[in-house]
Chains A and B, each alone.
Chain A
Amino acid sequence: MASESGAKTVREEWGTRFGFLMAMLGGMVGSGNIWRMPYTTGQNGGGAFLLAYIVLLFVIAVPGLMAESALGSYTKRGVIGAFKKTYGRGWSEGFGLVVVLTTIALASYYMPIVGQVIYYTIHSFLLTFSQSGFESVPFWNAFTASPLLTIGTHTLAVALVAGVLLFGIRRGIERVVKWMIPLLVITLIVVAVRGLTLPGATEGLAFALTPDWEYLVRGQTWIAALGQALFSTGLGWGIALTFGSYLRKNDDIPLGAGIFTAIGNTSIGLLAIFTVFPVVFAFGLEPTAGAELTFISLVSVFPQMAGGSIWAILFFVGFFFAAFSTALVIIEVAVTTVAEETRLDRTQTVLAVCTVIWLLGIPSAYSASFLGTMDFMFGNWGLPLATLLIIGTVGWKVGPERLRVIELNRNADVHIGSWWDPVIKYVVPVVMVFIMAYYLVTNIAASTMQTVGGVVLMAVLLVGAVLVMRTVRRRGRPGVDAGGD
């Protein structure tokens, strides 16, 4: 471990174990759980996909989340600080900068989506969807065609997130997610119960769950399952590392940060299948409509249900909780790191980071195609690169055995054996390299410019971040630890 000359940080800690668990879950459970998991399952062989997904979840996501959380818990630093403590001061801190910039980019195009959810949630309370003559397509088109609405709701979403983050880890994030996540689960259960009682609802379950075992031997099924397992759990995005750094002295990592959060997130994805698909099939909607499923299809059928206004409110409140909690958690990754690495206090950091995200998010709020391009570039290469940097650091610099015997099994509720070491050293990094190469090969012909642009952007990001950190450290401007509150 490289020595550090920085001042000792007085860090915040989670107030309760439940708060930490809900924050981890909140970061993972996002809008993708509501619309992506169900149709991905249905499209890829139903039960066969679920089997592949569960295997990959246990083999890659659970061990990976343990590694990332343990790195944060051991270093007690945010992303850049963790790299600094692991490699020493200098160019390698650029790896941490890449992770932070990737999460900022992710947040910039995620916030407009949160804004959309807020807009629809407000209208569900205004009973707009139940008014006579309401049509979901013109409503959606009117929203997306109005910069005032798209940028306005994006602004509102960023402002709400900033408002919570200003209160810090314990009084802000923890206080909010402790209520939001249980309520999200409750709303999904209530809507699922209603959906399952609709005529024709079982067709939705049949579509999503009937196993087509031929899919198990198709590479595409495993790729889809891998993508879902990685992106749904947020492995390597700096979330588990950041939140692990706020763990208390006697907190466990393997059971809470690894097993519960990964499986809990997937459990909510399964609940979303029971919530969304019965309604989709009961009303003959297109199950593979993607995000439109939520903003166009479901909105059009709620009024047709008895007590439709109530179901719409419940659904969109749950959807808002999922999207908003994820936004909170993603932005906290940047806030923690910037607070540690600069002379800004938490309030200044939250305002600065949220302002940057708001500005970067305006193009995505204004243009759906720009948002799609950002998602394409960062989803396909930025996030896997961040994962590779974090897990690769644990696997090849810290060493999985060292981290496991010293940190991971300390205060552990379940003991992690030596099987974990090769998974972190070889399996996860190889999978990340594979998935980036796979996305490159499969996209290069269909969208050459975007693919080349994405790969070049990530290369520039990586090299640029390393050079920036090297230059900054050579000038001898040490960061001032000011994390926490």
Chain B
Amino acid sequence: MALSTAAWVVMVGSIGVLWVPAMWALFRTLRDEDRKLELLTEQGKIDTYSPGALAELREWIRTHPDDEYAPDARERYDDCVETLRDIDEPFYDWSDAEIEELRTLSE
């Protein structure tokens, strides 16, 4: 019994939607880990937020200044800004201009 065209489409589609993203995610995350370890070995620390994530964090801190999580958020924000100033090579796609514009929350 030969497989119908529809069954072939489902089989290939399922492999495409499941196995391909799973393999991509595995290789991507392991590659990123290697990169992080490399940077940590070279620099001792790495930036913890991408430009978009750090902007979101700053906005959240601005709109929730009295939140019980705010002190922790501020600490993490400042830590990332200070790290970006200290290191030569960031993990995320930070440009020199973007790093130059960054200010800690106390500045």
Contacts and interface: CB of A to CB of B under 8 A. Distances in A.
Interface string A228-250: 00000000000000000000001
B3 A267 contact: no
Nearest to B6: A211
Nearest to A271: B19
A218 interface: no
Interface in A120-146: none
A415 B54 CA distance: 11
Interface string A187-203: 00000000000001011
Contact of B73 (A250, A270, A406, A411): A406
A401 B4 CA distance: 46
Interface string B44-73: 001011101100110010001001110011
Contact of B50 (A21, A259, A412): A412
Contacts of A412: 50, 53
Nearest to A48: B10
Given A1-B68, A205-B3, A211-B7, A50 B29 contact: no
Q: Interface size bucket, B side?
A: 35 or more
Contacts of B33: 16-17, 251-252
A405 B14 CA distance: 32
B1 A46 contact: no
B97 interface: no
Contact of B7 (A21, A46, A413): A46
Contacts, number: 120
A255 B50 contact: no
Contacts of A255: 25, 28-29, 32
B29 A17 contact: yes
B21 A259 contact: yes
Contacts of A267: 18-19, 22
B99 interface: no
Contact of B69 (A1, A46, A252, A260): A1
B36 interface: yes
10 contacts: A21-B29, A252-B32, A255-B28, A255-B32, A260-B29, A263-B22, A264-B26, A266-B22, A270-B19, A401-B60
